[in-house]
Amino acid sequence: MDTTPILNVKNLKKHFSVKGQTVKAVDGISLHIMPGETLSLVGESGCGKSTAGRAILRLIDLTEGEVELNGQRIDQMSARQLRPLRRHIQPVFQDPYSSLNPRMRLRDILAEPIRNFGLSPNAADIESRIRQLLEMVRLPADAAGRLPHEFSGGQRQRISIARALAAEPSLIVCDEAVSALDVSVKAQIVNLLQDLQKELGLALLFISHDLAIVEHMTHRVAVMYLGRIVEIASRERIFGSPQHPYTLALLSSVPVPEPGRTIDRIVLKGDVPSPMNPPKGCHFHTRCPFALDRCKTDEPKLRSVAPGQHVACHLHDLPPSENPIAQRTAVSEVSS
């Protein structure tokens, strides 16, 4: 197995300045993605997951940190140096309506990356590649001559995926790519993404707030809260044995479509604090049902608690008998 990650992010920070105050949208996250692997970035709105995605795509400049694409540092590159490398990492955005230039025909939308990256030698070749791409995302071949507004939301998302594939990337960043879609269409796009991943060996950075979809799609999960990763682990560990109280609360909050089932739910008090003025110590201590005194002052570091599972929480310094997290069973096993 290939051991160089496609993407390796170290201590990524993105700070914005809003009216003289600093918003630490992303405050030092590290992650990596192996070829063909799906890593999901989950969290609630404002946690910085989309900003992280945009910084990794270099659509915005980062404040600090390193981004390695196929072993090559891209965080400091100039726009000109970066342009040919962009081929390897392509985005798919949330809103199917604003993701496509309303005045360009599908053919031109798909031809743009092919031409820019010089992936096809001549016009006939481009045309056949476009036909192939449309087939891959299961759109009819005659779609090439049409404008985006002639398509439904789900179809447009297919077009966005086709545009990403046109660059022949090794990694696709899906920023809430299926969130705006209805259930029945969402299933179509999720299946499409999974099929393409298998077929092409794509790696995915899957940014989403929809935990059920994430569980269905992913290999590993990173949970973000207020700009930091609080837990990162394999799918089995996150959904089977979450070790951060926030992960636990998040999972238990999802309403389950099984009437009559009662959930041992942790309802968090209050709201997510403002990222302009995050709490000291552990960002989560204001809402954490198990917070200790030291959580208010000491910032917990990510550390390994099980093979492939890293958690930033002081509770794991306690002996297992006193650790309330270890006492809890996984959410999915609780049913009446």
Closest CA to 160 of 210, 205, 94: 94
Segment interacting with another protein (CB under 8 A) among 94-102, 278-286, 289-297, 317-325: 94-102
Q: Where are the beta strands (DSSP E) in the chain?
A: 7-18, 21-33, 38-42, 64-69, 72-73, 89-92, 171-175, 203-208, 220-225, 228-234, 303-306, 309-311
Return the residue of 10, 30, 35, 44 that touches another protein, per CB under 8 A: 44
Segment interacting with another protein (CB under 8 A) among 7-15, 70-78, 105-113, 126-134: 105-113
Asked if 254 is part of the footprint of another protein (rule: CB under 8 A), the reply reads yes
Asked if 116 is part of the footprint of another protein (rule: CB under 8 A), the reply reads yes
3-state secondary structure of 145: helix
Question: Residue 231 corresponds to which tokens in the numbers above?
Answer: 């837990």
Tell me the DSSP string of 238-289: HHHS--SHHHHHHHHHSPPS-TT---------S-PPPTTSPPSSSTTTTT-T
Per CB under 8 A, contacts with another protein among 131-190 are: 152, 154-155, 160, 163, 166-167, 182-188, 190
Task: Give min distance, CB of 204 to another protein, in A.
Answer: 15
Per CB under 8 A, contacts with another protein among 53-82 are: 54, 57, 59, 79
- Tell me, by CB under 8 A, how many residues bind another protein: 77
Q: How many CB atoms lie within 10 A of CB 328?
A: 18
Segment interacting with another protein (CB under 8 A) among 27-35, 139-147, 211-219, 294-302: 211-219
Asked if 265 is part of the footprint of another protein (rule: CB under 8 A), the reply reads yes
Q: How many CB atoms lie within 10 A of CB 136?
A: 18
Return the residue of 165, 251, 282, 288 that touches another protein, per CB under 8 A: 251
Per CB under 8 A, contacts with another protein among 227-246 are: 235-236, 239-240
Nearer to another protein, 13 or 58 (CB): 58
| CA 30/CA 229 separation, integer angstroms | 8
